[in-house]
Structure 1
Amino acid sequence: METAITASRRLTVSLFSRLRTEQGQANPFPLYAELRSKGEVIAAPWGGHIVTSYELCDQILRSRNWLEPDADWRERQGTGTRWGAPSSREMSKTLPALNPPEHTRVRRSAGMFDRGTLKQLRAPVSHITRRLLDSLAERLQDGEADFHALVSEELPVATIGHWLKLPTADFPRLRALTHDQVFTQELLPSASQLALSDAATAELRVYFTDLVHERRRQPGDDPVSRWITVWDTLESDRDRADEAVYLLALFVLLAGLETTSTLLSTATLLLLEHPRQWDRLAVQPDLVPAAVEEALRYDPPTHVISRVAAKDCVLGGVEVREDEMAHLMVAAAHRDPAKHEDPELFNLHRKPAHLAFSGGIHYCLGAPLARLEAQTLLHQLVTRFPRLALARRPSWAPRVAFRRLLNLDVTLI
Structure 2
Amino acid sequence: MGSVTTPSVDRRAVISLFSRLRTAEGQADPFPIYAELRARGAVSPAPWGGHLVTSYGTCDQVLRNGAWLEPDTAWRERQGARTRWSAPSSREISRTLPALNPPEHTRVRRSAGSFDRSTVDRIGRRVDQVVERLLDTLHERLREGEADFGALVSDELPVATIGDWLGLPSADWPRLRELTHDQVFTQELLPNASQLARSDAAMAELRGYFLDLVRERRGRPGDDPVSRWIRTWDELEPDRDKADEAVYFLALFVLLAALETTATLLSTMTLLLVEDPDRWGLLAEHPDLVPAFVEETLRHDPPTHVISRVASEDCVLEDTEVRAGEMVHLMVGAAHRDPARFSGPDSFDPRRRPSHLAFSGGIHYCLGAPLARLEAQALLRHMIARLPRLTLVRRPAMASRVAFRRLLNLDVSLT
TM norm structure 2 = 0.97
Is this contact kept in 2: 1:19–1:399, CA < 8 A?
A: no
State the secondary structure of the residue aligned to 1:31: helix
Using the TM superposition, give the Cα deviation of residue 21 of structure 1 relative to its aligned residue in structure 2, in angstroms. 2.5
Provide the rounded CA distance (Å) in 1 between the counterparts of 2:114 and 2:263. Answer: 19
Most deviating of 208-217 and 13-22: 13-22
Counterpart Cα distance in 2 of 1:156 and 1:38: 38
- Picking from 29, 36, 39, the partner of 1:37 is 39
Q: Is the 8 A contact 1:21 1:399 kept in 2?
A: no
1:133 pairs, out of 132, 135, 139, with 135
**Segment of structure 1 superposing worse, 36-45 or 382-391:** 382-391
1:157 aligns with 2:159: yes
The alignment status of 1:213 with 2:202, answered yes or no, reads: no
1:323 to 322, 325, 340: 325
Q: Which residue of 1 aligns with 2:349?
A: 347
In the alignment, structure 1 residue 398 sits paired with structure 2 residue 406: no
Report the equivalent of 2:242. Answer: 240
Quote the Cα distance in structure 2 between the aligned partners of 1:133 and 1:124: 14
Q: Distance in 2 between matches of 1:265 and 1:355?
A: 19
Q: What's 1:359 paired with?
A: 361
Amino acid aligned to 2:267: S
Letter in 2 for 1:129: V
* 1:282, distance to aligned residue in structure 2 (A): 1.1
Bigger shift: 122-131 or 12-21? 12-21
Cα deviation, 1:186-218, whole Å, max 9, x if unaligned, reads: 011111000000000000000000000000000
Counterpart of 2:291? 289
Q: 1:67 aligns with which of 66, 69, 74?
A: 69
- The DSSP-based 3-state class of the residue aligned with 2:310 is strand
Which deviates more, 162-171 or 268-277? 268-277
Q: Which residue of 1 aligns with 2:300?
A: 298
State how far apart, in whole Å, the 1-side matches of 2:97 and 2:116 are. Answer: 17
Shift of 1:119: 1.1
Q: Deviations along 1:223-279, whole A, 9 cap, x unmatched?
A: 000000000000000000000000000000000000000000000101222321221
Match of 1:253 in 2: 255
Q: Which residue of 2 aligns with 1:169?
A: 171
Cα offset, 1:7, TM superposition: 8.1
How far 1:6 sits from its partner (Å)? 10
DSSP 3-state at the match of 2:280 = helix
User: Given the alignment of the two structures, is residue 13 of structure 1 paired with residue 15 of structure 2, yes or no?
Assistant: yes
CA distance in 1, matches of 2:13, 2:387: 45
1:11-66 CA distances to partner (integer Å, 9 max, x unpaired)?
Answer: 21121122123221110000000100110001011000000000000000000110
Distance 1:288 1:408 in 2: 20
Q: 2:186 aligns with which of 184, 187, 192?
A: 184
Q: Provide, for residues 328-367 of structure 1, a one-character-per-residue CA deviation record: whole Å limited to 9, x for no partner.
A: 0001000000000000110011132100000000000000
Secondary structure of 1:353's partner? coil
Which runs of 5 or more structure 1 residues have no equivalent in the other structure? none
Q: Give the 3-state SS of the residue equivalent to 1:355 in structure 2.
A: coil
115 and 7 in structure 1: CA distance in 2 versus 1, 3 angstrom threshold: closer
The code of the aligned residue for 1:178 comes to T
Cα RMSD after superposing both structures: 1.1
- Cα deviation, residue 385, structure 1: 1.8
3-state SS of the aligned residue for 2:47?
coil
Pairs aligned (count): 410
Structure 2 residue identity aligned to 1:398: S
CA displacement, residues 134-155 of structure 1 (integer Å, 9 cap, x when unaligned): 0000000111000000000000
- SS of 2:44's equivalent in the other structure is strand
Q: Secondary structure of 2:10's partner?
A: helix
CA contact (8 A) 1:161 1:167 kept: yes
Percent identity of the aligned residues?
71
Determine the C-alpha separation between the residues in 1 that align with 2:330 and 2:7: 21
Aligned equivalent of 1:274, options 276, 286, 290: 276
Distance 1:393 1:142 in 2: 20
Q: Which moved more, 1:46-55 or 1:384-393?
A: 384-393
Contiguous gaps of at least 5 residues in structure 2: 1-5
CA distance in 1, matches of 2:323, 2:277: 48
Once the two structures are TM-superposed, the CA of residue 321 in structure 1 deviates from its matched residue by 0.2
Query: How high is the TM-score relative to the length of structure 1?
Result: 0.98
